[in-house]
Amino acid sequence: MNYFHNTKDIPTIVFSFLFIWLMITMCLWILQPFIIGFTWAGMIVIATWPLLLTMEDALWKQRFLAVLVMVLLLILVFIIPIILLINSLIENSGLLITWLNSNNLHAPELLWLQTIPIIGYKCYSYYHHLINSSGVALLSQVQPYIVRTTRFFFTQAEHLGFFMIHLGVMLTFSILLYWHGEKIGKTIHQCAFKLASHDGKEVVLLAMQTIRAVALGVVVTACVQGLLGGIGLSISGIPFSTILTVFIIFSCLVQIGPLVILVPAIIWLYWAGDNTGGTVLLIWSGIVCTLETLLRSMLIKKGADLPIILILSGVIGGVLSFGMIGVFIGPVVLAVAYQFMLSWIKGIPLTSHPTMSSNGEKFKKQKNNC
């Protein structure tokens, strides 16, 4: 009897694995500065690919003109609002510094401390001792917090600088992805088919559908709510409405909602005696919140036939785990895991699952494959 020995022994397999692992690690290390920007570019290009094809059809089938228009739109959506926000912060900080230098800042008397039984008079005396000692004792008490606050602001300035760099990288990679979208999409589908046959291609399809669902149902809804909330703040006469609009958009992206900004503004208007402005903003806030529910559910279903709670949970968990890029990463991971779990429970292939099939037909009908 002849025995055939495997030509690849265990040391060869181990060293091959170590070599592949080393190459992957080195590649990720080299590409680390570009990963966030490239990921953002990929998400944006996938979400806006149907718009690019529409632009290309309208511009005499010229890909160059369509890419140029899309890049201008990205600059209009991402770069210009950030520049306006920074400019607004600089102007408002100048007003704040002028107000602080005008000696209008006085420590409150806090006479109500004396009305507290037992400890009230001691607290009142200690507070005025800190105030009347030329601020030296008070400064010694708050100095650790000043250091932490200063470090926090420097850290945020550093993050802002990196964010601007990532935006530049995102715009650069977006141009390349828009220009070579079909080739890159074909390569991704081939890799997915090589790894998991037809199931791999369906997973890629599901990921693209989920990204578009998040872009439509979460990002677009947040931007619409932010703009409408900012209009309401401006009409009601709320100061710093530009900065508050950005905060509304961010709070809507992380699924906190616009009321965290609008409700304090309404209370402030009534407190200041502007009952008309407060009532207008109150009615406007109700319209904005109602629009959120209707618009988000409609747009998410248009992007992908997935449970809304699944996508919203992915958005919140993704933001908490990965930052703003998690707005897309979280729902994609949960959607893929959800479909795999359903296919395993029902004992049918992933390609035969009704949700996947409907998404595939929708995807082919729209001619949106990147």
Is there a contact between 232 and 262 (Cβ–Cβ < 8 Å)?
A: yes
Domain ranges of the chain: 33-93+109-179
Q: Which of these, 331, 259, 312, lies nearest to 290 by C-alpha position?
A: 259
How far apart CA 307 and CA 167 sit, in angstroms, is 31
pLDDT at 104 over 60: no
Give the residue carrying structure tokens 């559908």: 209
> What's the token pair of residue 38?
């490239």
pLDDT at 365 over 80: no
pLDDT of the residue at 133: 59
pLDDT of the residue at 69: 94
The percentage of residues in the chain with a pLDDT greater than 70, rounded to a whole number, is 73
DSSP letter at 75 equals I
Q: Which of these, 335, 228, 213, 248, lies nearest to 290 by C-alpha position?
A: 228
Average pLDDT, the chain: 78
Query: Across residues 256-278, what is the average pLDDT?
Result: 89
How far apart CA 284 and CA 117 sit, in angstroms, is 45
Distance of CA 96 to the CA centre of its chain: 29
Q: Which of these, 301, 288, 294, 287, lies nearest to 216 by C-alpha position?
A: 301
Q: What is the pLDDT of residues 138-181, one digit of tens each?
A: 555 555 655 666 676 667 667 667 777 888 888 999 999 999 99
Query: Across residues 237-258, what is the average pLDDT?
Result: 83
Q: Which of 16-20, 233-237, 327-331, 363-367 has the lowest mean pLDDT?
A: 363-367
How far apart CA 267 and CA 272 sit, in angstroms, is 9
Residue 144's identity, in one-letter code, is P
Residue 301's identity, in one-letter code, is K
Query: Across residues 331-337, what is the average pLDDT?
Result: 84
Give the residue carrying structure tokens 């602001």: 153
Q: Which DSSP string do the residues of 198-248 spell out, in sequence order? A: HHHHHHHHHHHHHHHHHIIIIIIHHHHHHHHHHHHHHHHT-TTHHHHHHHH
pLDDT at 366 over 70: no
How far apart CA 232 and CA 288 sit, in angstroms, is 9
pLDDT at 247 over 50: yes
How far apart CA 270 and CA 281 sit, in angstroms, is 10
Query: Across residues 84-107, what is the average pLDDT?
Result: 61
pLDDT at 96 over 60: no
pLDDT of the residue at 363: 46
Q: Based on the number of CB atoms within 10 Å of its own CB, is 274 exposed (0-12), middle (13-18) or buried (19 or more)?
A: middle
DSSP letter at 103 equals T
pLDDT of the residue at 70: 94
Q: Which of 16-30, 208-222, 277-291 has the lowest mean pLDDT?
A: 208-222
- Name the strand (E) or helix (H) holding 16: helix 10-58
Q: Which of these, 84, 71, 15, lies nearest to 45 by C-alpha position?
A: 71
How far apart CA 175 and CA 181 sit, in angstroms, is 10
How far apart CA 41 and CA 177 sit, in angstroms, is 8
The percentage of residues in the chain with a pLDDT greater than 90, rounded to a whole number, is 20
CA atoms lying within 13 Å on the CB side of residue 125: 5
DSSP letter at 272 equals T
pLDDT of the residue at 101: 57
How far apart CA 74 and CA 179 sit, in angstroms, is 15
Is there a contact between 336 and 181 (Cβ–Cβ < 8 Å)?
A: no
Q: pTM for this structure?
A: 0.72
pLDDT at 238 over 90: no
pLDDT at 25 over 90: yes
- Name the strand (E) or helix (H) holding 302: helix 275-303
Contacts 24+ apart (CB under 8 A), 124-132: 131/107
